[in-house]
Amino acid sequence: MTFEDIVREHQDAVYGAALRILGDRDAALDAAHQAFIKAYRSIASYDRSRPIRPWLLRIAVNEAISIGRSRTRERSRQAPEADAALVADRAATPERETLDRESREAIRSAVARLPELYRVVVVLRYFNELSVDEVAAVTGRSPSTVGVQLLRARQLLRKGMEGSGV
């Protein structure tokens, strides 16, 4: 598999994770671009016996966090909270399109309001569908720590959702 194949296969997941963490399309594109550049430069040191997706997502999450911290003064360029989790789905079906848009927007908004510590694990676990062990590997935390952070994030999301009437 060439690096071009790797990019093509994982670009949506990398961009989606960065977008959900940053909430800014331009910054997410920058993070995804930088993540793939860093991955390309260090592909020789990558352990090919391990899955590549968690490795790429770890790089992307770290880039997104770095960019987010450096752009805190540029809040005026951020996308609306409701757009923070929108990623085009190539396989959109009519059923998916008829889902309750209001509920999805409330969920996206609640996730976007989570503190960074919890938002990262929620994005990786539920939006990128990584296992707890994979989230732990991506974030450099223990699986038990990730589990506790997910539990706390779900509590915060419940509180956030109660106020929205969903």
- Render pLDDT for 78-88 as a digit per residue (tens, 0 to 9): 555 555 555 55
pLDDT averaged over every residue in the chain: 82
Q: Domain 1-79's class? A: mainly alpha
Q: Which regions of the chain carry the CATH code 1.10.10.10?
A: 95-166
Q: What is the pTM of this model?
A: 0.63
Residue 61's nearest CA partner among 138, 142, 136, 115 is 138
Is the pLDDT assigned to residue 58 strictly greater than 60? Answer: yes
Give pLDDT, residue 93: 57
| Distance, CA of 135 to CA of 129 (rounded, Å) | 9
| Distance, CA of 77 to CA of 24 (rounded, Å) | 7
Q: Tell which wins on pLDDT, 71 or 53.
A: 53
Please compute Rg for the chain using Cα positions.
Answer: 16
- Render pLDDT for 80-117 as a digit per residue (tens, 0 to 9): 555 555 555 555 555 555 555 677 777 888 888 889 89
Q: Domain 95-166's class? A: mainly alpha
Give pLDDT, residue 72: 65
Give pLDDT, residue 166: 55
Is the pLDDT assigned to residue 28 strictly greater than 60? Answer: yes
Q: Which regions of the chain carry the CATH code 1.10.1740.10?
A: 1-79
140 Rama sector, left if φ>0, alpha if ψ -120 to 50, beta otherwise: left
Label each residue of 146-162 as H, E or C. HHHHHHHHHHHHHHHHH
Query: Do 20 and 79 meet the contact criterion of CB atoms below 8 Å apart?
Result: no
